[in-house]
């Protein structure tokens, strides 16, 4: 996706920077702003992918989601710049591309905000799980299971965003069950080998790898991946509509 947008961007931007005249063409007026908008959506999509699947679970994920929210503000700013540049544009087809691009970007930003809001309780869930697993370390300290039952109920009732992609919620439901079972086992044994084995692998799998199995679903249904795909089409459409500008 990045390569295809990049190739069209080079064509649009190169022709926009050449043959400058006192009165800018539609290509010169909108091309750089449209490309900038598409590239910002692409960066936001990469940040969202990192927050969902690449960074460590827990607080690093919260920090990544906060950075993504900042990028969404930048995306809205780029959309506003494109909308302003298209005001009173006489070319109806180019104006339609600009309008669709702005609407697409703003909608994807709003939808991504909803995805972030849905993910933040998962960060809290990761904290509860980590605290429970950490309590296994000292056999003289009571093993914590406070909140696990309530957490399981919250996970079952939560609305996933996007709705088709529920794996991150299902993963945590499975981990809650496992952590609770292992805590119960450790309460009834002094087996240090078992304790060490549980501490070495508290969830029975790597959390990030388990969550990353959701990536294909999110790339199909997530707000930013879908927006990036649609914007790629619009950038290509704009290039086709305004190519004559570059030949003048």
Per-residue pLDDT of the chain (248 residues; tens, 9 = 90+): 444 555 344 445 444 444 444 468 999 999 999 999 999 999 999 999 999 999 999 999 999 999 999 999 999 999 999 999 999 888 999 999 999 999 999 999 999 999 999 999 999 999 999 999 999 988 877 777 878 999 999 999 999 999 999 999 999 999 999 999 999 999 888 899 999 999 999 999 999 999 999 999 999 999 999 999 999 999 999 999 998 765 45
Count of all residues that appear for the chain in the document? 248
C-alpha span between 130 and 106 (Å, rounded): 36
pLDDT at 141 (0 to 100): 74
C-alpha span between 172 and 178 (Å, rounded): 10
Domain count, the chain: 1
DSSP 3-state assignment of 244? helix
C-alpha span between 103 and 133 (Å, rounded): 45
C-alpha span between 174 and 155 (Å, rounded): 10
C-alpha span between 97 and 40 (Å, rounded): 17
Q: Domain containing 157: what range?
A: 2-247
pLDDT at 245 (0 to 100): 63
Alpha helices in the chain (DSSP H): 2-17, 26-49, 59-85, 92-134, 148-157, 167-187, 192-200, 207-212, 215-221, 223-247
C-alpha span between 62 and 64 (Å, rounded): 5
């Amino acid at each position: 996706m990045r390569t295809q947008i990049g190739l069209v961007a080079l064509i649009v931007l190169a022709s926009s920077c050449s043959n400058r005249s006192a009165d800018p063409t539609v290509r010169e007026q909108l091309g750089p702003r449209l490309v900038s908008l598409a590239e910002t959506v692409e960066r936001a999509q990469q940040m969202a992918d990192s927050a969902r699947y690449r960074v460590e679970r827990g607080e690093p994920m919260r920090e990544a989601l906060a950075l993504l929210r900042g990028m969404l503000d930048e995306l809205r700013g780029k959309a506003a710049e494109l909308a302003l540049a298209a005001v009173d544009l006489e070319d109806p087809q180019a104006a339609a591309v600009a309008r669709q691009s702005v609407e697409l970007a703003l909608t994807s930003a709003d939808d991504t905000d909803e995805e972030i809001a849905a993910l933040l309780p998962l960060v809290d869930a990761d904290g509860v799980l980590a605290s429970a697993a950490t309590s296994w370390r000292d056999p003289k300290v009571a093993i914590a299971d406070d909140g696990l039952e309530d957490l399981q109920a919250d996970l079952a009732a939560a609305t996933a965003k996007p709705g088709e992609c529920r794996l991150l919620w299902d993963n945590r439901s499975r981990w809650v069950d496992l952590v609770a079972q292992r805590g119960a086992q450790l309460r009834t044994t002094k087996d240090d080998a078992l304790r060490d084995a549980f501490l070495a692998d508290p969830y029975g799998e790597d959390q990030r790898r388990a969550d990353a199995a959701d990536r294909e679903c999110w790339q199909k249904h997530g707000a930013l991946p879908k927006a990036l795909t649609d914007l790629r089409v619009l950038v290509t459409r704009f290039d086709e509509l305004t190519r004559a500008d570059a030949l003048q």
